[in-house]
Amino acid sequence: MIFPIRSKAKVLALALLVISAATWLYLSVGETEYGRSLGPVAPRFSPTASLLGDLESRLQEAEEENRKLRLQLGEVRNEEQGTGLGSEGENSSHCDHRSLTEKCELIHVAIVCAGHNSSRDVVTLVKSILFHRRNPLHLHLITDSVALRILGNLFNTWMVPSLQISFYNASKLKTDVAWIPNKHYSGIFGLLKLTLTKVLPSDLSKVIVLDTDITFATDIAELWAIFKKFTGQHVLGLVENQSDWYLGNLWKNHKPWPALGRGFNTGVILLLLDKLRMIGWEEMWRLTAERELMNMLSTSLADQDIFNAVIKSSPSLVYQLPCYWNVQLSDHTRSEQCYSELADLKVIHWNSPHKLRVKNKHVELFRTLYLTFLEYDGSLLRRELIGCPTDGEQQETRQEALSKLDEEDPCYDFRRESLASHRVHLSFLPHQTPPADPYDVTLVAQLSMDRLQMLELICRHWEGPMSLALYLSDAEAQQFLRYAQASEVLQSRTNVGYHVVYKEGQLYPVNLLRNVALKNAQTPYVFLSDIDFLPMYGLYESLKKSIAQLDSYRSPKALIVPAFETLRYRLSFPKSKAELLSMLDMGALYTFR
């Protein structure tokens, strides 16, 4: 198909060149015959008016023909771009999606997300999408109560323009899939993608479905544009599985679910929701699962096994996506056949249980790309889409408030910082809600990266619940995560809530941090402290006893805890009041000032 178009372009270009050459030759001959009109020597004779008129008319005809040829050449070039044919040829993965996807068309993305860890993973995925996107986005998040609380607050404080968020209660869908035994580490949430035709709005016709362990390396609009290539009975867009799992030859007596050839991976799915509803998708996958479970007893790869069993029975439903739209880094992957250079990568899928530690000869390259978005400053993604209407009322309100500030005001910097919007990621690490206790008390504090070493000490001194607000950059948040996961002391505590407030501006927002920690304390009482203070051993139980003795419900009271300081770096912590008084007398301790 490419050769007739290119031949036509070459003929037009050659004709344009010939016309230009003929015009130049004609002018040259005229110049030789009549003399140089602009030369230093006067012409030998003046040409007649008829000769000048004839020359002028021929020039105009040549210019008009030249202009028409240029227009035709431009149309041919536009035709080349419109058919997606460029210098790379038909097999190229490069595509100008602006000619395929409307500039401000809303792109819908659905993600199943549950728990603390998955809530962190989805942030990295969203960063990679926002970094490359040039279209408005609508994220449809199917979440449990934990992820709803975390992500609802995060996106509310992130305030990204042209980004809509809708949440759907995963607990209402569990009964639809709870009857399916599943050995996959994702548990019951790994089956919820089967229910998307039910949970998503009935007027939503198509959606891109993604796993949380996905990283985008290109504009998602290019993937959205592939919907236009669906024909006939196509309702699913999937990439072929890049391991031999469904071939059944990975180990002896390996018996996978039925699949078409190598099968398909469901980490990236294009779903035509309206057509799926028309063909009775819910009944189709349910009957298929019931039939296969009679022999297989359980799924090994969650929803992917059931999707493949349906496709095995009805191959016409699937449109096979190019493999670079889901480069799978599983333990037995053959994904290196999908790319020859970095520019070929579109989507990276960390679908091994080992995630970043998976063995792959190009894993360092993929890990670098992933870490780029993991530590990328999310505030930089608040940029507006040029030429697209925005619903960023909060941003407009902030800009209006900033414009009213007086730069001559001595407190200008403080007033400006007070208008900053800090992203807040609640419950950055998993923790449990303390059991109900009318006298329970939570230690509340805030800190930055340079006070991280105090956490283990405080955990040894205070056994009760804690609510801590950490002021960190995106990169520092990952350093904290690695530190906490490597610490036996911190890992042993399940009653400590770590709430990350991301850095914004130059000042330290101490009141904001304290308020975040206070708001997320889940006990009736709080013990407000600075991170540099070490509570005495047993203070938690002592405070609970004191609270129980006070009739605070009728008359609220504040308990004052004495504080002391020392100038010594190494000090044996006093274990009793007598020992404390002795150290005061010796000058080892001072009353805190």
Per-residue pLDDT tens digits for 376-401: 999 999 887 777 877 656 666 767 77
547 domain-assigned: no
pLDDT at residue 35, as a whole number: 40
217 domain-assigned: yes
**Of the residues 48, 82, 116, which one is the last residue of a structural domain?**
82
282 domain-assigned: yes
pLDDT category, 360, cuts 50, 70, 90? Answer: low
Tokens of 443: 């230690």
94 domain-assigned: no
* pTM, full prediction: 0.79
Query: Could you tell me if 176 and 299 lie in one domain?
Result: yes
Residue 25 clears pLDDT 80, i.e. is over it = no
Query: Could you tell me if 29 and 158 lie in one domain?
Result: no
Query: Could you tell me if 106 and 184 lie in one domain?
Result: yes
pLDDT category, 275, cuts 50, 70, 90? Answer: very high
Q: Which of 130, 104, 157 is nearest to 422 (CA)?
A: 157
Over range 326-342, report the average pLDDT: 72
CATH of the domain at 158: 3.90.550.10
Residue 13 clears pLDDT 70, i.e. is over it = no
Q: Which of 71-85, 148-162, 231-245 has the lowest average pLDDT? A: 71-85
581 domain-assigned: no
Query: Could you tell me if 141 and 63 lie in one domain?
Result: no
Query: Could you tell me if 28 and 126 lie in one domain?
Result: no
Residue 11 clears pLDDT 50, i.e. is over it = no
Tokens of 137: 């986005």
Residue 77 clears pLDDT 50, i.e. is over it = no
pLDDT digits (tens, 9 = 90+) for 83-123: 333 333 334 444 444 444 678 899 999 999 999 999 999 99
**Of the residues 498, 514, 538, which one is the last residue of a structural domain?**
538
Q: Domain range for residue 68?
A: 2-82
Query: Could you tell me if 171 and 297 lie in one domain?
Result: yes
Over range 504-529, report the average pLDDT: 95
pLDDT category, 529, cuts 50, 70, 90? Answer: very high
Query: Could you tell me if 200 and 286 lie in one domain?
Result: yes
CATH of the domain at 515: 3.40.50
463 domain-assigned: yes
Count of domains observed in the chain: 3
pLDDT digits (tens, 9 = 90+) for 256-268: 889 998 999 999 9
Residue 454 clears pLDDT 70, i.e. is over it = yes
90 domain-assigned: no
Over range 181-202, report the average pLDDT: 92
Over range 18-40, report the average pLDDT: 43
pLDDT category, 71, cuts 50, 70, 90? Answer: low
Name the DSSP letter for residue 556: -
pLDDT at residue 486, as a whole number: 96
Query: Could you tell me if 312 and 453 lie in one domain?
Result: no
Query: Could you tell me if 274 and 241 lie in one domain?
Result: yes
Query: Could you tell me if 138 and 54 lie in one domain?
Result: no
Residue 12 clears pLDDT 90, i.e. is over it = no
pLDDT category, 419, cuts 50, 70, 90? Answer: confident
**Cβ atoms 189, 302 nearer than 8 A:** no
Between CA 170 and CA 190 the distance in angstroms is 11
pLDDT category, 244, cuts 50, 70, 90? Answer: confident
Query: Could you tell me if 57 and 116 lie in one domain?
Result: no
The CA R_g of the chain, rounded to the nearest whole Å, is 34
Q: Which of 159-168, 176-185, 260-269, 339-348 has the lowest average pLDDT? A: 339-348
Residue 37 clears pLDDT 50, i.e. is over it = no
**Of the residues 538, 562, 588, which one is the last residue of a structural domain?**
538
Q: Which of 305-309, 390-394, 524-528 has the lowest average pLDDT? A: 390-394
Query: Could you tell me if 462 and 360 lie in one domain?
Result: no
pLDDT at residue 51, as a whole number: 54
pLDDT at residue 416, as a whole number: 79
559 domain-assigned: no
463: left (phi over 0), alpha (psi -120 to 50) or beta: alpha
pLDDT at residue 8, as a whole number: 47
Between CA 360 and CA 363 the distance in angstroms is 5
Q: Which of 115, 137, 109 is nearest to 268 (CA)?
A: 109
Between CA 146 and CA 114 the distance in angstroms is 7
Over range 170-184, report the average pLDDT: 91
